[in-house]
Amino acid sequence: MIRQGYDTLKNPLLRQAYDKLGMEAFQCSYCKTERDFLHEAIRNWMTFYAVTAGVSTFFSAIGRMDFGRYWRFSGLLAIAAIEAAWLFSSTDVFPYILPWRTVSQKIQLLRQFFITVSIAISQIGPILFPVDKRPIRQVILDLEQKIDMQTRQAVSFFADAFLPFQNDPKAAGKLQRNMEMRAVHTDSVNTAALSSRNGVSNGTTAVSHSSEE
């Protein structure tokens, strides 16, 4: 182990490969050049994200991880782009983030963080932010039932309010006349208010025209 570490530090190519691939750099039997190590890194990168995207799509299709699907796939694309930048760059693109870690260690932490957050969102998200999964037709039918029930209640309240006048024609007639007078009075007030607003508007327009002249 000590000898392996010494050889890695002494060989610039192996040191760079270990920084990006970790222990997989020693497990690659055919890797002899920088291109070989890069091909191995790309193969591992494509395998991980293809499998992760496939698993996420499968669980979303069966409804197990349907919540936050858009953000989960957006996050997957984001960390895939970050990891690609790490692999294709000759230096660490984020040197100030965990500077004591190698690039391969940062990649592993980023992958574990994404998986943990994805599982947490799929489990806790529906509890914190419940989503109505009923069909649109069912939602419309429920809304119609609520409106019908409120209409029935309003009619019932209206009938109860006029129940004392049902057997008293004289009182009912008096109430009807009062309601008609109130309706006429309300209409007169609205008409007067509208005329007043129109008069003020016309006066303002005339004043503005005279001032312009």
pLDDT digits (tens, 9 = 90+) for 71-95: 888 888 999 898 888 888 777 777 7
84 lies in the same domain as 181: no
117 lies in the same domain as 39: yes
154-190 core/surface letters (b: 16 or more CB in 10 A; e: else): eeeeeeeeeeeeeeeeeeeeeeeeeeeeeeeeeeeee
Question: Scanning the structure block, which residue is given the tokens 């349907």?
Answer: 66
Per-residue model confidence (pLDDT) at position 195: 72
Q: Considering 69, 93, 128, which residue would you say is the last residue of a domain?
A: 128
Asked whether residue 211 is assigned to any structural domain, the reply reads no
* Percent of the chain scoring above 90 in pLDDT: 0
Asked whether residue 88 is assigned to any structural domain, the reply reads yes
- Residue 178 is part of which domain span? 136-206
Per-residue model confidence (pLDDT) at position 128: 75
Q: Considering 128, 155, 175, which residue would you say is the last residue of a domain?
A: 128
Per-residue model confidence (pLDDT) at position 207: 42
- Summarised one tens digit per residue, pLDDT across range 169-182 is 776 677 667 777 87
152 lies in the same domain as 121: no
60 lies in the same domain as 143: no
Q: How confident is the model at residue 191 (pLDDT cuts 50, 70, 90)?
A: confident
Q: How confident is the model at residue 209 (pLDDT cuts 50, 70, 90)?
A: very low
Asked whether residue 95 is assigned to any structural domain, the reply reads yes
Under DSSP, the state recorded for 165 is G
Q: How confident is the model at residue 10 (pLDDT cuts 50, 70, 90)?
A: low
pTM for the structure as a whole: 0.53
Give the number of domains in the chain. 2
121 lies in the same domain as 142: no
Q: How confident is the model at residue 64 (pLDDT cuts 50, 70, 90)?
A: confident
CA distance 81 to 107: 11
The residue among 199 and 48 whose pLDDT is bigger is 48
C-alpha angle with apex 81: 80 to 84, nearest 5 degrees? 85
Across the chain, what does the average pLDDT equal? 75
Q: Considering 95, 128, 161, which residue would you say is the last residue of a domain?
A: 128
124 lies in the same domain as 144: no
Per-residue model confidence (pLDDT) at position 91: 75
Per-residue model confidence (pLDDT) at position 151: 82
What average pLDDT does this structure show over 122-142? Answer: 73
- Coil vs helix vs strand at 101: coil
Asked whether residue 158 is assigned to any structural domain, the reply reads yes
Asked whether residue 212 is assigned to any structural domain, the reply reads no
105 lies in the same domain as 159: no
114 lies in the same domain as 142: no
What average pLDDT does this structure show over 12-34? Answer: 72
Asked whether residue 52 is assigned to any structural domain, the reply reads yes
